[in-house]
Structure 1
Amino acid sequence: MQILFCHPNAAPGEAERWQAGLTARLGAAGLGVPGFTIRTPEVAAPPADYALLWNPPPAALLGQTRLRAAFALGAGVDALLGADVLPPGVPLYRLEDAGMAAQMVEYALHAVLRWQRRFDEYEALAARGEWRTLTPRPRPLIAVLGLGALGGAVASAFAGLGYRVRGWSRSPRTLVGVEGFAGPEALMACLDGAGVLIDLLPLTAGTRGLLDGRVFAQLMPGALFVNLARGAHVVEADLLAALAGGRLSAAVLDVFGQEPLPAGHALRDRPEVTVTPHIAALTRLDAALDSIAAAITAIEAGATAVLGRVDPARGY
């Protein structure tokens, strides 16, 4: 078995950790010691059976005619589906969770509670040397867009804390304590009067540019917007207008249309905008290794229904 690892932005030693982890797990599963090639511009990749990919260049899999499957080293797959990286017919798998759901819940809880309890404003007061009490905001109605493994975990976490939560997805989902909305025609009803909007949608043709002025106008005046999904979901000019006009009182943004976010960008240095560098949920190595090793073991055993397979028609 030959495995190709292609991650141009991998930290020093990261590829070797993936190699050691997969070797141990696949060996324990009785599949022997896999060959492992770290793809770089200087290294010609031999024929591989499986590919592990993160932001690969378009020619990364050129000539790979015997691939049985490719694995995205994260939850998002839009970069792989949109760049013609994969040879025709090669199934793509994504990490369904791999430790990311708990991190996403932590980030979302922090963002909402910091805004609700006005800790962001206390930080500004402290920086100016002011000492005064602010009235906390009432508990908001929370709308979560996207109820997959990550969005569903976030919606359920807020519901478990007693928040009123709505969730919107492509097809109906049932989650305890979450009022479900499904399909394009239900989006505005889901957003109506929400005090917090949390984006956890996949990036598809149908969600690109979805979050525009019409969406922000549906929210409660002074709402909070939290984007943990993809920057391309957002019409940035409309987001800036919603902030300037007070429809949004704050935004917490982990993803952007261009990353890194350029110096001098309009979303930088705004006091009501919190920017983080796409760190809401990082891939946990051990959990990801367990997931990929289990999938390879199942494929080698002839399984056809393997967790995490991406439907190219849907985009996730």
Structure 2
Amino acid sequence: MTLTVLFAAGDAAFADYEAPLTRALSEAGLDARLVTEAAPEDVDYIVTAPNGWVQDFTPYTNTKAVQTLWAGVEGIVGNDTLTQPLARMVDDEGLTQGMVEWVTGHVLRHHLGMDAHIVNPDHAWDHQAPPLAAERTVTILGLGTLGTACARMLATVGFDMRGWSRTEKSVEDVACHHGDAGFGTALDGADIVVLLLPDTAATRNVLDAAAIGRLARGAVVINPGRGPLIDDDALLAALDEGQLSHATLDVFRTEPLPQDHPFWAHPRVTVTPHIASETRTDSAAREVAANIARCERGETLKGLVDRDRGY
């Protein structure tokens, strides 16, 4: 029987995904038709995004699973009408590689002090070599797919790597901490902290004044995860006081970041417009098709969302 896959992530996204996703479904051995309209009772799978046009999932009584194209699901996981299994994008190789490149680039930028040489209007000749990576402690908060990939890459550069996660994890060459007891230990004395946690009730404002105070004096904060992970007021106060030397932020509570937000004008804040990583069409299409094939074989969906945890 031919499967009906409803693409509900919007017309603009469909223009990009129609050909690669149709091809990926076929290459996965699936007899499937990809559509943007269908009678709800005929839909076997829904491919969407948190801002997709299907917001009431109640009529889709025969739908086996909903696959989102995004890694973050905070915009959809609380939808009470969504009772079908929900899977998030976790193994898109393009998304992962993009995040690894962005995080590695900005960690190295701050580690090497590149800004002082890129913008040097006084032509200062400050002959001070940076420390080696092994002398710099980098902590990654969040050891999911993205956090683990970034930690591994930074470990190969030679940084003294730490990681923290809600549950126990093990990553080679990374000192892994978990739970409430391990949170402070992961932060204590860290020179650079990278936030790659999901946005949940338990993680909002996880980097508050107390957490920032545990970092090394003059530490750097890098946030490509989610805007609400940081207490903005505490961050600005720490930058002004000198506890932090810089913050590079890619995500914000309100996006686009309002023009009058103090982050724009602060001399020790770098704003990037939510570009740390994007779902790449071809690789994401392969992951969507592979997950549908898993479900058809009776296997557990990859990236299956735990509603209680929120991700």
Superposed pair shares fold, TM > 0.5: yes
Q: 1:198 matched to which residue of 2?
A: 194
Q: 1:24 matched to which residue of 2?
A: 23
For residues 114-138 of structure 1, what are the alpha-carbon distances to aligned partners after superposition, in whole Å with 9 as ceiling and x for unaligned? 112211122221xx25242352443
Q: Distance in 2 between matches of 1:166 and 1:276?
A: 25
What percentage of aligned pairs have identical amino acids?
38
Report 1:82-161 matches (<5 A).
82-84=78-80, 86-88=81-83, 90-98=84-92, 99-125=94-120, 128=121, 130-133=123-126, 135-138=128-131, 139=133, 140-161=136-157
Structure 1 residue 275 corresponds to structure 2 residue 274:
no
Match of 2:205 among 209, 217, 230: 209
Report 1:1-316 matches (<5 A).
1-8=3-10, 11=12, 14-37=13-36, 47-54=42-49, 55-56=51-52, 59-84=55-80, 86-88=81-83, 90-98=84-92, 99-125=94-120, 128=121, 130-133=123-126, 135-138=128-131, 139=133, 140-303=136-299, 305-316=300-311
The offset of 1:82, in angstroms, is: 2.7
Question: Letter of the aligned partner of 1:269 in structure 2?
Answer: A
Q: Distance in 2 between matches of 1:104 and 1:255?
A: 13
2:220–2:245 CA contact under 8 A, matched in 1: yes
Q: Distance in 2 between matches of 1:112 and 1:279?
A: 16
For residues 28-75 of structure 1, what are the alpha-carbon distances to aligned partners after superposition, in whole Å with 9 as ceiling and x for unaligned? 344324141169xxxx86742111111235735352222110111021
Question: Letter of the aligned partner of 1:101 in structure 2?
Answer: T
The offset of 1:285, in angstroms, is: 1.0
Q: Distance in 2 between matches of 1:35 and 1:191?
A: 47
Structure 2 unaligned regions, length at least 5: none
1:253–1:273 CA contact under 8 A, matched in 2: yes
Q: Distance in 2 between matches of 1:66 and 1:45?
A: 8
Equivalent pairs counted in the alignment come to 304
For residues 84-143 of structure 1, what are the alpha-carbon distances to aligned partners after superposition, in whole Å with 9 as ceiling and x for unaligned? 4x522x111111131222211111111111112211122221xx2524235244342011
Change (3 A) 1:257 1:159: same
Structure 1 unaligned regions, length at least 5: none
Q: With structure 2 as the length reference, what TM-score do the two structures score?
A: 0.91
Aligned to 2:36, what secondary structure does the other structure show? strand
For residues 157-205 of structure 1, what are the alpha-carbon distances to aligned partners after superposition, in whole Å with 9 as ceiling and x for unaligned? 1111111011000111111110010101211111000000100111111
Larger relative contact order (Cα-Cα within 8 Å, sequence gap ≥ 6)? 2
Q: Distance in 2 between matches of 1:97 and 1:38?
A: 28
Question: Letter of the aligned partner of 1:162 in structure 2?
Answer: G
The offset of 1:301, in angstroms, is: 2.3
1:116–1:136 CA contact under 8 A, matched in 2: no
2:218–2:242 CA contact under 8 A, matched in 1: yes
Instruction: Say what the alpha-carbon RMSD is for the aligned residues.
Output: 2.0
